Amino acid sequence: MKKTLIFLFFAALVTGCTNDAENSTSKEDSVLIINAETEPATEVAPQPFADLFSFLQTSDSGFSTAYFQDFSSSSALDTLAALPIEKKHLAQYASYLIYNPDSSMAIDPYSNSYLIVKKDGYNKLTSGSPDTEVAIVDFKKGKRQRILYFGPSYMVIDAKWKSDKTVLFAISEVISNDKISPEIWEVDLNTFTKKVSRYPDTLNINVNRYREQKLNFKKA
């Protein structure tokens, strides 16, 4: 009789342990499933220059936006004081300016460094200086202020408004006619500071083809 009771006791103990183990496993599985289902999807950062990045990818298969480094800490821009707009001169470049949503301001990378040549009823921008000046035009205030200035070793590839007071620039060091080292500059117009994200390699691309597509052949 004692042997029978002892056997039943151990049988119950083993069964209880088994049930506890199964319940524990079930709970862990349940937690894992819940976490998997509720884990937020990874957000894909918007591409600041989708057309440009597509061009770079097509031109050099080794290009990837994932290689751009994190933005650096903010540093001051070398700006000049705002001056009155030269309306007659600036009017010639009106179709090349990059306007903010309400057209009260514009990015002007061309009026100080490029000439407009008319051919076959179209205008074409031609570099008139080895240097490049980029300014912000404030039409409400009637002012134009230089915010960037580059020598011939750098070029502005593209620019766009990120917000009312933040501007993005695609800029590159010009290593040779067919080699560039692109950077993205984020410029804060409130503080006149910039943050820079660099591409850690050179690309074998003649980026002037992209610039010509963006800038030339506007109707005169």
Q: Residue 151 burial (CB < 10 Å; 0-12/13-18/19+)?
A: exposed
Top mean-pLDDT range of 3-17, 41-55, 117-131: 117-131
The pLDDT-based confidence of 212 (bands split at 50, 70, 90) is confident
Q: Output the pLDDT for position 32.
A: 32
Token pair listed for 130: 């080895």
Token pair listed for 217: 């052949």
Give the residue among 211, 208, 209, 219 at the shortest CA–CA distance from 119: 219
Q: 155 near 177, Cβ under 8 Å?
A: no
| pLDDT tens column, 161-184 | 999 999 999 999 988 878 999 999
Q: Residue 106 burial (CB < 10 Å; 0-12/13-18/19+)?
A: buried
Q: 113 near 148, Cβ under 8 Å?
A: no
| pLDDT tens column, 99-157 | 999 999 999 999 999 998 887 777 888 888 889 999 999 999 999 999 999 999 999 99
The pLDDT-based confidence of 218 (bands split at 50, 70, 90) is low
Question: Rounded mean pLDDT of 39-43?
Answer: 36
Q: Give the predicted TM-score (pTM) of the model.
A: 0.76
What are the backbone angles phi and psi of residue 134, rounded to the nearest 5°?
A: -120, 130
Q: CA-to-CA distance for 161 and 140, rounded, in angstroms?
A: 17
